[in-house]
């Protein structure tokens, strides 16, 4: 791993209780790949409040040259006004890493406001946005490119409608809460993790990391076929299947092809190589599983751990949900293509 990343992680380890070092590497890779040509990367970190994820994003914000903060915005801010001298949010975001430390303010907007914001963002992912204001000369057409890293609490897991509204444009990382929660609380209460000196040092080290990776080239690799296969499988398996109160299926949306998801995974793989991690498969497998609901993930992980065991009984024990709920979700996964071939790809 490159020295700047090691220094950054050493400072984190000194001041915070962190168990998810693989997650830290993936976040650093998401930052590093910003300077690699390709489609935009929208990367979402889902974890409990106070688990340390916000400190990583706060350190990114210290680099005002490459990073811009945006914790909340409106449909009008996205579209911008039609007057030429009116600042437009997407123009300010152009070529930046956009950081949103807490997505809760967007999730809790009124449904109609949220739907409009997400509808505009869905269009924005392709890098262009057109807006009309009711007259011939009032037409704005914007072109832009930005990468977006945001954090959210697990409440977003209960807002699966957001996936439909945004068209599954995010790569998810489920941030692991420290196992020793008492030690984490004591560390936070000591004030050390919130000290201005710590944050200043972490920000300086993140800026040093950014400068070191801006000119680095990603390593070439020969596993693009594997990346495509795992993207295809994960994209299908995260497709929702809607059932009524009697568990009868009333809608099966057309599964994703996996193109966007594959492009995002490829960018993360390149970013990992840029920070010195050549064996990116464990990290990519993690992201493929992180994109699933907790119950679907538990079913698949149980199958991976012991394919010959009773999946339903084992998952029921691990998740503390009913036998019938597990049975239905296992049935959903099989309908979406979870089979021996999919299992073998994840085991590679």
- The per-residue pLDDT for range 2-41, each reduced to its tens digit, is 999 999 999 999 888 888 999 999 999 999 999 998 889 9
The string of pLDDT tens digits covering residues 292-344 is: 888 888 888 888 877 665 567 778 887 788 888 888 988 898 888 888 788 88
Look up tokens 């993930």; give the residue.
Answer: 297
Strands (DSSP E) along the chain, which ranges? 42-46, 67-69, 97-100, 128-132, 139-143, 147-152, 170-174, 242-243, 249-251
The string of pLDDT tens digits covering residues 250-272 is: 887 777 778 889 999 999 999 99
Highest-scoring range by mean pLDDT, 43-52, 198-207, 238-247, 338-347: 198-207
In the numeric block, which tokens belong to residue 22?
């693989």
List the chain domain ranges.
3-213, 224-347
| Region 209-218 average pLDDT | 92
| Region 89-99 average pLDDT | 90
DSSP 8-state symbol, 40: -
Of 225, 230, 254, 228, nearest to 335 by C-alpha is 254
Q: Does residue 67 sit in helix, strand or coil?
A: strand
Rounded to 10 deg, the angle between the 259-274 and 281-290 helix axes is 140
Count of CA atoms in the C-beta half-sphere (13 A) of 344: 3
Of 172, 307, 175, 295, nearest to 235 by C-alpha is 172
**Region for 258 from its dihedrals, namely left if φ exceeds 0, alpha if ψ lies in -120 to 50, beta otherwise:** left
- For residue 43, the model assigns a pLDDT of 95
- The bridge status of strand 42-46 relative to strand 147-152 is parallel
CA distance 52 to 175: 9
First-residue to last-residue Cα distance in the chain = 23
Mean pLDDT rounded to a whole number for the chain: 82
CA distance 296 to 241: 12
- For residue 81, the model assigns a pLDDT of 60
pLDDT band at 53 (very low <50, low <70, confident <90, very high): confident
Q: Which residues, in sequence order, are bridge partners of residue 139?
A: 132
- For residue 185, the model assigns a pLDDT of 42
**Region for 191 from its dihedrals, namely left if φ exceeds 0, alpha if ψ lies in -120 to 50, beta otherwise:** left
- For residue 184, the model assigns a pLDDT of 47
- For residue 193, the model assigns a pLDDT of 55
Please tell me the class of the 3-213 domain.
alpha beta
CA distance 346 to 229: 9
């Amino acid at each position: 791993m490159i020295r700047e990343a090691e220094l950054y992680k050493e400072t984190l380890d000194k001041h915070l209780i962190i168990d998810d070092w693989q997650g830290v590497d993936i976040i650093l890779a998401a930052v590093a790949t910003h300077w690699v040509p390709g489609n935009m990367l929208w990367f979402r970190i889902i974890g409990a409040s106070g688990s340390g994820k916000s400190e990583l994003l706060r350190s990114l914000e210290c680099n005002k040259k490459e990073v811009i903060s945006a914790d909340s915005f409106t449909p009008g801010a996205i579209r911008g006004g039609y007057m030429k001298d009116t600042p437009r949010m997407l123009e300010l975001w152009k070529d930046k890493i956009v950081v949103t430390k807490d997505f809760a303010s967007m999730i809790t907007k009124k449904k109609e406001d949220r739907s409009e914001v997400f509808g505009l963002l869905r269009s924005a992912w392709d890098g262009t946005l057109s807006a009309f204001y009711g007259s011939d000369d009032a037409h704005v057409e914007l072109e832009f490119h930005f990468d977006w890293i945001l954090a959210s609490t697990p409440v977003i897991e209960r807002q699966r409608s957001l996936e439909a509204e945004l068209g599954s444009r995010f790569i998810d990382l489920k941030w692991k809460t420290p196992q020793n929660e008492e030690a984490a609380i004591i560390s936070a209460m000591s004030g050390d993790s919130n000290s201005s000196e710590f944050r200043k040092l972490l920000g300086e080290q993140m800026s040093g990391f950014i400068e070191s990776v801006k000119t680095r080239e990603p390593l070439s690799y020969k596993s693009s076929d594997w990346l495509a296969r795992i993207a295809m499988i994960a994209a299908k398996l995260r497709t929702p299947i809607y059932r009524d109160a009697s568990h009868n299926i009333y809608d099966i949306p057309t599964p994703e092809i996996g193109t966007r998801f594959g492009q995002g995974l490829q960018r993360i793989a390149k970013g990992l190589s840029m920070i010195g991690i050549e064996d990116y498969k464990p990290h990519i497998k993690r992201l493929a599983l992180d994109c699933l609901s907790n119950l679907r993930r538990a079913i698949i992980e149980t199958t991976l751990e012991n394919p010959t065991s009773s999946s339903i009984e084992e998952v029921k024990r691990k998740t503390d949900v009913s036998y019938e709920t597990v049975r239905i979700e296992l049935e959903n996964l099989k309908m979406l293509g979870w089979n021996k071939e999919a299992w073998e790809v994840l085991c590679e």
